[in-house]
Amino acid sequence: MSQIDQVLAAAKALADRGKLPSVALLKAQLSNSIPLPILIKGLQQFKAMPKAEQARLVGQVEVEAEVIIADSSPEQAVARLTQELKQLKAAYQQLDARLTRLESQEKTA
């Protein structure tokens, strides 16, 4: 699975959960470090896709996800989840800091 395919799959997963895919959500969703230009390009491709093409993407992603899960050892799964947890914590801290800044700006305005 190419990096763009990973971005498309993550965007579809977010959309399926009712969330609007964004660069920040994609970065938090993906367990490996994908360069920002690729994240942006993949997100743009996803947003430009017709719904029918997105539906076909789901079938491809599910098959590839099953292969990845079957091929990974418990140690690899734990390592991947640990990395994802670190990314989620970092994203949370960034959002919390942004919220604090916005709230302080609102109070001074």
Q: Which residue in 39, 2, 45 sits closest to 22, CA to CA?
A: 39
Whether 12 contacts 53, CB under 8 Å: no
Whether 32 contacts 39, CB under 8 Å: no
Reported as a single tens digit per residue, the pLDDT across 30-50 is: 766 788 898 899 999 999 998
Q: Which two tokens stand for residue 36?
A: 């920002």
The pLDDT of residue 101: 92
Q: What global pTM score does this model have?
A: 0.52
- What is the residue type of 40? I
pLDDT beyond 50 at 92: yes
Number of neighbouring beta carbons within 10 Å of residue 37: 8
